[in-house]
Amino acid sequence: MSTKAPKASIPKEEPDDEPDDVLFNTIYGVRTIELNRPKKLNSLNGSMARKIIPRLKEWEKSQLASVIIMAGAGEKAFCAGGDVAALAQYNQQGTSGIERSKAYFELEYQLDHLIATYPKPYIAYMDGITMGGGVGLSVHAPIRIATERTLFAMPETTIGFFPDVGGSFFLPRLDGHIGAYLALTSERLKGVNAYYAGIATHYIDSSSLSNLTARLSELVFKDYADMAERLAIIDTTIAEFGTGLPYNEPMLLAGDLRRAIDRCFCYNSVEQIIEALQQESGETALWAEKTLKTLSERSPTSMKVALRQMELGRTWDISDTFRRENHIASKFMEHPDFVSGVSAKLINKPPTTPKWEPPSLEQISREEVDAFFNVEGTMPLPLHGIAPAWREYPFGFLGLPREGEVRRVVMEGGKSAEGVVATFLTMKGGKPGVREKVEEVLERKCEIGAREEVMWIEDEKRR
């Protein structure tokens, strides 16, 4: 890939673009973006991206625009993904259709990158289905609000694709090996579990969103306040609408299941993951059996590419992520699994079973997987504005504590379990879910010493 990337041009609407698929509104200092295709579960298409990018660039320069909020129309979905059914139909038209699909992904990734690097507070209301392309519009935002209606997933391996829209960046940076698990299995996280897993930074009831928007519109920031200060004010404002976490929704990725996920999905080979799952016994045996069945239904090529993506993506910076994913997407547009998977799962009525090519993991060589990542000699994706090289989200402090943060506090020594919890409650201002998250990590990763202090036990010492 060339080291000098051209700057992206602002897209213009095309004659056949839908007129009202995105609605924009101004409420004092707040600017809202409403994805308005409720009958299509607000699935993202080129028409929508061509409207959103110019408006974000316009608001970037405006001194009157202080906070950006993106939401979806209706009660079912924030955004259920990209309109992949249309792309599969394009691809069946031959070379010209494939090029049209590639152009869509360029536009989508430029929008996702713009959101990830946006210089003003950007908030995503992940209310309802948030999958695929909808994840790209939300997960890179500094503030991501889940509700009781949130349904998160990255279902790409189901349709012969890969977890894109920056999945190379956010999935490997989730705790433990949750990212690889979500990438390969397309496991869904509902409601508060999207918050516990680190997908969302906040959790409130959906009935409070309109009032929150009105309250955010009242905020006035000092001219010299930097991004972190503005986000901290917004964080405090969101806390005004908290009503606690639902008592009847326990943490899903916890305890024995979480241990099994880290135990089985820690490998860089799909075959080794399958072997590890086959060796599970006891309380996680049934989970392992179901997971093996799930993996047997996924595209073998997609799984191998996705797992390599998890391995390499943890070293990529945010800008390189989208450039490399654009190359991977282009390769998939030329691969038969995408059309086969989308047609079988989303177009055929009733849905049918995809015919993967090749049909088994053993028939896919390392060289074939390498081709998806070999960007040598290709022109990098043009990006809007700055192309920062950060390798961790700069405003991660807004969410629940990450496992690595808990480890650091424990490794300082001398604290009881309650002392560690108290440290994070103070650090996070009593944020809902902090106690539950920290206690789960301590129970799973620590032992109690003679003086009641917690001691972090590395995994290899547990075996």
Asked if the bond preceding 38 is cis, omega within 30° of 0, the reply is: no
- Please tell me the distance from the alpha carbon of residue 266 to that of residue 250, in angstroms, as a whole number: 24
Q: Of 72, 81, 82, 198, which one is the catalytic site residue?
A: 82
Query: End-to-end alpha-carbon separation of the chain, Å?
Result: 43
Specify whether 82 is catalytic.
Answer: yes
Q: Of 112, 156, 187, 280, which one is the catalytic site residue?
A: 156
Q: How far is CA 94 from CA 326, 329, 330, 393, 419, in A?
A: 20, 16, 14, 39, 63
Residues in the chain: 463
Mode of pairing for the β-strands spanning 189-190 and 151-153: antiparallel
Nearest one of 441, 411, 408 to 427, comparing CA atoms? 408
Q: Of 128, 133, 136, 313, which one is the catalytic site residue?
A: 133
Q: How far is CA 461 from CA 275, 414, 445, 449, in A?
A: 22, 21, 11, 15
Specify whether 133 is catalytic.
Answer: yes
Asked if the bond preceding 142 is cis, omega within 30° of 0, the reply is: no
Neighbours of 304 (CB within 10 A): 23
Residues 6+ apart with CB under 8 A from 94: none
Where would I find the H helices in 343-433?
Answer: 366-371, 403-411, 417-427
- Please tell me the distance from the alpha carbon of residue 300 to that of residue 292, in angstroms, as a whole number: 13
Q: Of 164, 187, 235, 320, which one is the catalytic site residue?
A: 164
- Please tell me the distance from the alpha carbon of residue 411 to that of residue 429, in angstroms, as a whole number: 22
Residue 445: in which H helix or E strand, if any? helix 434-445
Place of tokens 């996680």: 284
- Please tell me the distance from the alpha carbon of residue 60 to that of residue 265, in angstroms, as a whole number: 41
Specify whether 136 is catalytic.
Answer: no
Catalogue the active-site residues. Answer: 82, 133, 156, 164
